[in-house]
Amino acid sequence: MSELRELYQEMILDHGRHPRNFGVLPHANYHKEGFNPLCGDKISLYLCEKAGVVEDVGFDGCGCAISMASASLMTEAIKGKTTQEAARLFTDFHVLVTGLPVEDMTRLGKLVVFSGVAAYPVRVKCAILAWHVLQALLKNDAATVSTE
Ligand code: ZN
């Protein structure tokens, strides 16, 4: 188990240092910003949606390794998915990081690396920030997202 934990941390550190899909998407038809005042994490999410499918997604911003890694892994997880699948992943991820039993772990794929975050309530907000931004974006909520 400890080896697995180390592996999980390794993936979070890797994505934190070298976030995937990092940068502004000029052709995005959705853009949303979010802020986690507790830690100072800021994320701008760009999403290109066509016929209910996430065709492309990118983000930029700054923050701790957890927030950046979470946004990075989220973009990987939702690219090519339908917006409905993306919304369901938000629910699964929320359940995971709050430490509740997940109905179907296989749906989460690589995102299970964040299971350890549940033990650190302050870190949960870092991990969930990008997902809250995604959810607000999918719901077309005009307000800027804040975890507080
Ligand atoms: Zn943070």
How far does the centroid of ligand 1 lie from the alpha carbon of residue 71, in Å? Answer: 11
% of the chain with per-residue pLDDT over 70: 99
Taking residues 64-73, report their average pLDDT.
Answer: 97
42 burial (CB, 10 Å; 0-12 / 13-18 / 19+) is middle
Cα pseudo-dihedral 112, 79, 132, 6, rounded to 10: 20
How far does the centroid of ligand 1 lie from the alpha carbon of residue 131, in Å? Answer: 13
Q: Could you tell me the residue ranges of all domains in the chain? A: 2-143
pTM value? 0.93
Is domain 2-143 classified as CATH 3.90.1010.10?
yes
Give a three-class secondary structure readout of 33-84. EEEECCCCEEEEEEEEEECCEEEEEEEEEECCHHHHHHHHHHHHHHCCCEHH
Structure token digits, residue 82: 């339908």
Are 77 and 69 in contact by the 8 Å Cβ rule? The answer is no
What are the pLDDT digits (tens) for 92-148? 999 999 999 988 889 999 999 999 899 998 899 999 999 999 999 998 877 778 888
- In this predicted structure, what is the pLDDT of residue 5? 77
Cα–Cα distance between 10 and 4 in angstroms, integer? 10
How far does the centroid of ligand 1 lie from the alpha carbon of residue 117, in Å? Answer: 11
